[in-house]
Amino acid sequence: MPGIKHLVECHCYLKIFEKSEKKINHKFPVYSKLDKNNNIEPKLVKCNNCDSLHYVHDVCSSELRPGKEDIETILTIEEIMMMLPEKINKVLNANRADIADFEHALDIVENEEWGSTIVVKRSIVNEVENIKVLQINSETKIKLFNKEIKSTIIL
């Protein structure tokens, strides 16, 4: 079954907002698998800022599981890398991908969803979003390409 990358909100905030008047909670990416009814398969994840444990049960929705930050049963990037082909690991590492991207890549490889893509970098230049995309065509064939998404950014 395919999955979805989405953001989950934590109770923490980034250090750069420490002195600002309005505190903005940190959001971090999560890759979730979908079941046959297109519902999220619940799972535990750690915040990439404060290591708080979240129980993800719906798109963009989680519940904190306090006191369990030292749980060791959640897969790490290093463990996922052992299950991925070298070329994919190199691209994801070079682009400082987060664990959600590694999980997405593993899902593509395990389910042989060849031709699937992962956005590994994003940047905005003059209100135009530019992305770098990793396309996984097989265990040994990948393609990297840039794409410009012409859309007006409204703040």
Burial (CB < 10 A; 0-12, 13-18, 19+), residue 124, is exposed
Residue 69 in this model has a pLDDT that exceeds 70 = no
pLDDT digits (tens, 9 = 90+) for 82-98: 999 999 999 999 999 99
- Residues 3 and 32: beta-carbon distance below 8 Å: yes
DSSP string, 81-145: HTTS-HHHHHHHHHTT--HHHHHHHHHHHHTT-TTEEEEEEEEEETTEEEEEEEEE-SSS-EEEE
- pLDDT at 134 (0 to 100): 97
Cα–Cα distance for residue pair 128/100, rounded to 1 Å: 24
* Close Cβ partners of 89 (under 8 Å, ≥ 6 residues apart): 81
Mean pLDDT, residues 116-128 taken together:
89
100 pLDDT tier (thresholds 50, 70, 90): very high
pLDDT per residue as tens digits for the range 76-86: 999 999 999 99
Tell me the average pLDDT across 44-73: 87
What is the per-residue pLDDT for 153? Answer: 53
In angstroms, the CA 20 to CA 18 distance is 6
> Which amino acid belongs to residue 24?
I
Whether pTM exceeds 0.75: yes
